[in-house]
Amino acid sequence: MKMQQLEYVIAIAHAGSITAAAKNLYQAQPNISIALKELESEIGMQIFWRTPNGMVLTPEGESFLLRAKDTVESMHSLENDYTNRGENGISVRISSVRSAYMSVSLGQWINSISGEEKISLQFIETISSKVIDDVSTGKADIGVFRVPGNQLDVFMEQMESRKMYTRVLAEFSMAPLMSADHPLAKLDDIPLEELKKYPEIVHADDEMSVFDRSYVNPDYENASAPKRIYVYDNGSKMIMLATVKDSYMWSSPGLPMMPVTMPMVSKKCSQATLKTCDIIMCKKSAESNRVIKSCMDFISDFVDGIGGEV
């Protein structure tokens, strides 16, 4: 039995299919299928039922999944505790939703610890569910995920049940981001109806689709923009925003996005009434780790320093 096989089982259970798990793990589907078959053969037990609607845990599989999660989390926790213990170096892995303030704050944190003999920082931008999984399974030491404000209590309870330490970084309403010479940039408060006239740049793989229009305003229809460009990479998204004439995207307010080829402005839209929350997390067992604590404190202080608006 290998650790990777256990991680595959966890991923399949979460995604509901081998295909989706392979996509989430950036692995080839046949590799996961073979690993699962070998594991089931080795333990003499069927973990999943293969159904037309996907992979469903058997009763024995439910019990196996719980133990697999405990094993993977314990191994990664052990690894994390001893990876970051050295006095002469820093190593930390961070998984986060796409946000300019995370890149800026982490860059400044690195500057603040530049006296360390060795620094290893792994930073991945992904979707909220993947952030939570990354920290839960030990693939990341710190996570920053984004949830609708009206679901904050539910998510906090879930994190508590997973033995996670959490802090709310910021609460905000989404704001349209556009070039400084956009036709709407001169308005102090942009109506949703006006935005419908222009191309919208959207994160293609965000499960809450920031987005999904209901994430901005419950009365904001999905077909709000006549033109919509779906982009998977954050850097490409910014380039698209700078390149596609009169385009815009929904973003967190406060900290300006870094200009790509032209200055960008974040505008007020009072009709964007729904609140969004960014939450920073780590395992409770890692909360006192000097590196993790230093990084989380720095990010929190950075957000506080810009008024809690990111």
Q: How far, in Å, CA of 51 to CA of 55, rounded?
A: 6
> Are 3-81 and 175-273 equal in CATH topology?
no
Within the chain, what is the greatest distance between any pair of CA atoms?
68
Secondary structure E strands in 174-206: 175-179, 200-203
Token pair belonging to 151: 């679901």
Give pLDDT tens digits along the chain (310 positions): 888 889 889 989 988 898 888 887 777 888 899 999 999 999 999 999 988 888 999 999 899 998 888 888 777 666 655 555 445 568 899 999 888 889 889 999 999 987 777 888 999 988 888 898 889 888 899 999 988 888 888 889 888 888 899 999 988 888 899 999 999 999 999 998 898 899 998 877 654 444 454 567 766 654 455 688 888 777 788 888 889 999 998 888 765 445 445 688 889 888 888 888 999 999 988 888 888 999 999 999 999 887 655 6
Beta bridge partners of 146: 278
Q: Delimit the domains of the chain by residue range.
A: 3-81, 89-172+276-305, 175-273
**CATH 3.40.50.300 at 175-273, yes or no:** no
| Other beta carbons less than 10 A from residue 77's beta carbon | 16
Three-class secondary structure of residue 198 per DSSP? coil
**CATH for 89-172+276-305, among 3.40.190.10, 3.40.720.10, 3.40.50.1820, 3.40.50.10860?**
3.40.190.10
Instruction: State the Cα–Cα distance between residues 243 and 44, nearest whole angstrom.
Output: 56
Q: Are 11 and 24 in contact (CB under 8 A)?
A: yes
Number of residues written out for the chain: 310
Phi-psi region of 241 (alpha: psi -120 to 50; beta: other; left: phi over 0): alpha
Selected from 3.30.70.20, 3.30.70.580, 3.40.640.10, 1.10.10.10, the CATH number assigned to the domain covering 3-81 reads: 1.10.10.10
First to last CA, the chain: 44
Grouping H, G, I as helix, E, B as strand and the rest as coil, residue 132 is helix
CA separation for the pair 271, 218 (Å, rounded): 10
Long-range (24+ apart) CB contacts under 8 A made by 10-15 are: 10/65, 10/68, 10/69, 10/72, 10/133, 10/137, 11/133, 12/36, 12/48, 12/55, 13/48, 13/55, 13/57, 13/61, 13/65, 14/129, 14/133
User: 177: helix, coil or strand?
Assistant: strand
The answer, as to whether pTM is greater than 0.85, is: no
Cα separation of 292 and 90, whole Å? Answer: 10
